[in-house]
């Protein structure tokens, strides 16, 4: 059978904390979820596969339709995030105008959070919850052999007016999954924040996260690949010309020992490649920083989130400001670049000073880069449930949007208990202004570039920040 996997264009993404201008030209990640499914199908089945990354190629719905018509698949799989649901709906509508009939299945984080609502999207034939490498193969085999689709693990189907969910999920050892094909899906068109080279890719070394932060809806069951398997993939990336790797696990340094195992494996093989990861501040010490620096680590993205101990406790981060300051100090000592993530307008941000404390804390820790976003209660999180209980988010608007994302109804996506969305956006602009528009910071950052590509991306980022300054001009001065 012929299978197309689609990463949809995001032309109609609803507000989710970060303005579009903040991400344009800053990062573009390869669709690893689809690439894992493709690699699994290529290795363990006879089905012919193709990925269309409409986001990376920046194509229209009509152009996407043409590409699908040229391939004429039997099955189309589409990855779905809650906040790009409108784009997904328009994608499906465009595909349904193609004369040849094919099975449309959807997957991704949205399906796990809203399994029943997912099947209410017009044009959807099935959905697959959770990680779906084997489930997708089983679905393709069942369609080809005209078998009952209800036997497919993790499948969600319409059963008349009802929704049928097969809860069974087969757990595949992560080391058994074939690596994503970065030749078939050209790695050169993707890039990550604060990268030093154009030849970069992303890797997932583990799935899920054992932490319980109130704002996160990541799978809480954590699974890790072995150090040897992870470094095998790094070595393969090196062999095809990749020079830098960014681990996009929700938490890479779940334990210090795990990171040490990976670093030691890299050193044992004498593998020369740059890499970085997203991590926690409480799983870092002087010894591990020295080791990973020796093994090629060049950057760490830390989730700081807020500038008060009270706020960290409310978010269930289980870290303190002192730990954060010490971690950034040590990381800087070892010459590893730091990127700090912050959220503006969290539930505990009740006054202007609360938000300013977070902005000022971003300066105190002397991060190389900072990413600011307006706090957005994501579905299927503790924060979202609290917002519903307080009436801060209107559930009926979300329910209507989930079923009919092309309606004019736009769900609430900010915590507007203490500040209006417009005020929060003003604070977001202020945070960027205070962090990035410091003359000494600009000079230091430009002098620290390692390549023309890095310099160009830095300029692109600066232009994006300037675009934000000119948005929403009807604003109240909060300086």
What is the pLDDT averaged over residues 222-226? Answer: 94
What local confidence, expressed as pLDDT, does residue 91 receive? Answer: 94
pLDDT of residue 406: 82
Split at pLDDT 50, 70, 90, the class of 409 is confident
The 10s digit of each residue's pLDDT in 316-340 is: 999 999 999 999 999 999 999 999 9
- Percent of the chain past pLDDT 90, that is, above it, reads 64
Could you give phi then psi for residue 97, rounded to 5 degrees?
Answer: -85, -5
Q: Which of residues 224 and 443 earns the better pLDDT score?
A: 224
Residue 46's pLDDT is 96
Tell me the average pLDDT of the chain.
88
2-165 and 191-376+414-469 share one fold? no
What are the domain boundaries of the chain? Answer: 2-165, 191-376+414-469
Inform me whether the pLDDT recorded for 474 exceeds 50. Answer: no
**CATH topology for the 191-376+414-469 domain:** pyruvate-formate lyase- activating enzyme (3.80.30)
Give the pLDDT of residue 32. Answer: 95
Q: From CA 180, how far away is CA 37, in angstroms rounded?
A: 8
pLDDT at 396: 73
| Cβ neighbours of residue 189 closer than 8 Å, sequence gap 6 or more | 28, 56
Cα atoms in the 13 Å half-sphere on the side-chain side of 316: 10
Residue 477 is predicted with a pLDDT of 38
- Residue 365's CB: how many other CB atoms inside 10 A? 22
What's phi and psi for 246, nearest 5 deg? -120, 115
* pLDDT at 404 (0 to 100): 83
Question: Which residues are CB-neighbours of 471 under 8 A, at least 6 positions away?
Answer: 19, 21, 425, 429
Of 65-79, 92-106, 206-220, which range is least confident?
Answer: 206-220
Rounded distance between C-alpha atoms, residue 465 and residue 430, angstroms? 11
Second-level CATH architecture of 2-165: 3-Layer(aba) Sandwich (3.40)
Whole-number CA gyration radius for the chain:
22
Give the pLDDT band (50/70/90) at residue 401: confident
**Per the structure block, which two tokens stand in for 44?**
């363990």
More confident residue, 401 or 300: 300
pLDDT at 233: 98
Contact call for residues 208 and 242 (beta carbons, < 8 A) = no
If you write DSSP's letter for every residue of 10-65 in order, what string do you get?
-SSPPP-SS-HHHHTTT-B---HHHHHHHHHHHHH---EEEEEEHHHHT--HHHHH
Which of 191, 199, 185, 186 has the alpha carbon at shortest distance from 24?
191
Q: Which residues neighbour 268 within 8 Å (Cβ) at sequence distance 6 or greater?
A: none
Whole-number pLDDT of residue 99:
83
* Token pair listed for 256: 């210090």
> Residues of 164-191 as b/e, b for ≥16 C-beta within 10 angstroms?
ebbeeeeeeebeebeebbbeebebeebb
Weakest-pLDDT range from 305-314, 326-335, 415-424 = 415-424
What is the per-residue pLDDT for 394?
82
pLDDT of residue 462: 62
Q: What is the pLDDT of residue 475?
A: 42
Q: What is the pLDDT of residue 476?
A: 41
User: Which one-letter DSSP state was computed for residue 198?
Assistant: S
The residues, any chain, with a CB within 8 Å of residue 231's CB and separated by 6 or more, are: 262, 265, 266, 269, 271
DSSP state of 179: P
**Total Cβ atoms within 10 A of residue 7:** 23
| Tokens describing residue 252 | 């890479």
What are the pLDDT digits (tens) for 152-207? 999 999 877 788 999 877 678 999 999 999 999 999 888 877 676 778 999 999 99
**Across 366-393, average pLDDT:** 90
- State residue 26's pLDDT score: 65
Q: What is the mean pLDDT of residues 50-79?
A: 94
DSSP 414: S
Q: Are 162 and 211 in contact (CB under 8 A)?
A: no
pLDDT in tens, 357-375: 999 999 999 999 999 999 9
Whether the CB-CB separation of 153 and 168 falls below 8 Å is answered with: yes
The percent of residues in the chain predicted with pLDDT above 70, rounded, is: 89
Strands 337-344 and 155-159: unpaired
For the ranges 60-69, 71-80, 326-335, 441-450, the lowest mean pLDDT is seen at 441-450
Per-residue pLDDT band for 463 (boundaries 50, 70, 90) equals low
pLDDT at 287: 97
Strand ranges (E), 363-436: 369-374
Q: Give 471's pLDDT tier (boundaries 50, 70, 90).
A: low
The larger pLDDT score, comparing residue 385 to residue 402, is at 385
Distance CA 309, CA 291 (A): 30
pLDDT digits (tens, 9 = 90+) for 230-267: 999 999 999 999 999 999 999 999 999 999 999 999 99
CA distance 114 to 379: 9
Does the pTM exceed 0.85?
Answer: yes
Relative to beta strand 155-159, strand 162-165 is: antiparallel
User: What distance in Å separates the CA atoms of residue 275 and residue 202, rounded to the nearest whole number?
Assistant: 9
Instruction: Using the predicted structure, report yes or no on whether residue 410 has a pLDDT greater than 90.
Output: no
CA distance 262 to 258: 6
pLDDT over 70 (residue 403): yes
The Cα 20–Cα 447 span in angstroms is 28
> 287 or 14: which carries more pLDDT confidence?
287
């Amino acid at each position: 059978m012929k299978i197309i996997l689609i990463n949809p264009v995001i032309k109609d993404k609803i507000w989710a904390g970060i303005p579009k201008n903040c991400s344009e030209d800053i990062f573009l990640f390869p669709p690893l979820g689809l690439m894992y499914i493709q690699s699994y199908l290529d290795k363990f089945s006879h089905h012919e596969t193709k990925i269309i990354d409409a986001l990376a190629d920046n194509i229209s719905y009509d152009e996407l339709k043409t590409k699908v018509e040229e391939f004429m698949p039997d099955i189309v799989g589409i990855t779905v995030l809650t906040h790009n649901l409108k784009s997904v709906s328009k994608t499906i509508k465009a595909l349904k105008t193609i004369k040849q009939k094919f099975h449309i299945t959807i997957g991704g984080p949205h399906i796990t959070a809203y399994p029943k609502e997912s099947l209410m999207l017009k044009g959807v034939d099935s959905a697959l919850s959770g990680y779906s490498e084997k489930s997708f193969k089983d679905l393709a085999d069942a369609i080809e052999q005209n078998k009952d689709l209800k036997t497919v693990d993790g499948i969600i189907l319409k059963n008349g007016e009802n929704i049928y969910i097969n809860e069974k999920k087969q757990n595949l050892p992560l080391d058994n999954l074939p690596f994503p094909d970065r030749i078939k899906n050209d790695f050169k068109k993707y890039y990550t924040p604060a990268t030093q080279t154009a030849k970069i890719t992303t890797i997932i070394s583990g799935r899920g996260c054992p932490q319980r932060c109130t704002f996160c809806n990541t799978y809480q069951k954590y699974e890790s690949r072995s150090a040897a398997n992870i470094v095998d993939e790094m070595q393969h990336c090196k062999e095809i010309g990749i020079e830098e790797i960014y681990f996009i696990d929700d938490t890479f340094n779940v334990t210090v020992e795990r990171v040490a195992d990976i670093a030691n494996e890299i050193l044992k093989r004498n593998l020369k490649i740059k890499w970085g990861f997203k991590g926690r501040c409480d799983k870092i010490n002087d010894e591990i920083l020295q080791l990973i620096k020796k093994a090629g680590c060049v950057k760490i993205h830390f989730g700081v989130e807020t500038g008060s101990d009270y706020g960290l406790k409310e978010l269930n981060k289980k870290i303190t400001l002192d730990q954060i300051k010490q971690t950034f100090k040590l990381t800087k000592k070892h010459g590893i670049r730091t990127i700090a993530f912050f959220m503006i307008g969290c539930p505990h941000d009740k006054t202007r000073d609360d938000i300013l404390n977070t902005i000022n804390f971003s300066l105190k820790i002397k991060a190389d880069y900072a990413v600011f976003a307006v706090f957005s209660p994501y579905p299927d999180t503790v924060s979202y449930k609290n917002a519903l209980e307080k009436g801060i988010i209107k559930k009926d608007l979300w329910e209507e949007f989930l079923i009919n994302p092309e309606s004019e109804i736009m769900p609430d996506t900010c915590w507007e208990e203490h500040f209006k969305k417009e005020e929060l956006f003003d604070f977001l602009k202020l945070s960027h202004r205070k962090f990035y528009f410091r003359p000494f910071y600009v000079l230091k950052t430009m002098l620290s570039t390692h390549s023309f590509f890095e310099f160009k991306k830095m300029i692109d980022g600066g232009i994006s920040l300037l675009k934000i300054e000119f948005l929403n001009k009807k604003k109240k001065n909060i300086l």
